[in-house]
Copies of this chain bind each other. A is one copy, B any other.
């Protein structure tokens, strides 16, 4: 029994290998929704991998809603057809790390919507949180410090105020990668930050005044330079 620490890439390969195995199993044995999968121990023996690896693969498929495991009972095929199962597994396997371009593109799409929704739905508490974030951002910029994180925090406050939990989650997922890339490429210069204050204030005012169209327009303006800049990076 060899024992070595795998890199994350190797680990991913093993996981995909197991996922493919489970897919083939479902196809070959004609498992239908609700049917029980072989036990984790049997799968680990069949695929000649550790039970831990099997568990991780199953948990991933469970996250995407393809499997459902019940404690002390077994793992079952979710209520989803064979064709859908195959199509989605193929996508899951081929999922790569998102490129920066698609990240920014998605962020802009999400934010132009969340800012509109925030203008329609924001509560007084939301406003307060956003104002706090705005002030923190201003202070950092006026002190000449790097304010990428405070910038993003203001945007996250907007996402929360949108009242759409799904979009809020998605913003949370893409934000850390945006931050690291931005700091890596030094996207936000000081003069850009100065303009950022005005932009943010305008966005905040529009949300406060419950003007969704204006809020969206201000957000668009805010992204305008960013958009061009990002598309020149890669």
Q: Which DSSP category, helix, strand, loop or mixed, fits chain A's interface? A: helix
CB contacts under 8 Å to B, within A117-136, are 133, 136
Q: A71-B5, A156-B91 are in contact. Are A83 and B170 (CB under 8 A)?
A: no
* Complex: chain B residue closest to A62, CB-CB: B176
A234 interface residue, CB < 8 Å from B?
Answer: no
29 chain-A/chain-B pairs, Cβ below 8 angstroms = A5-B72, A64-B173, A65-B176, A78-B180, A79-B179, A80-B176, A81-B149, A81-B150, A83-B136, A83-B149, A83-B153, A84-B152, A87-B133, A87-B156, A88-B175, A88-B176, A92-B172, A95-B165, A95-B168, A96-B165, A98-B166, A99-B165, A102-B163, A102-B166, A105-B164, A106-B170, A109-B109, A166-B174, A170-B170
Interface residues, chain A, with chain B CB atoms under 8 Å away: 5, 64-66, 71-72, 78-81, 83-84, 87-88, 91-92, 95-96, 98-99, 102-103, 105-106, 109-110, 113, 133, 136, 149-150, 152-153, 156-157, 160, 163-170, 172-177, 179-180, 183
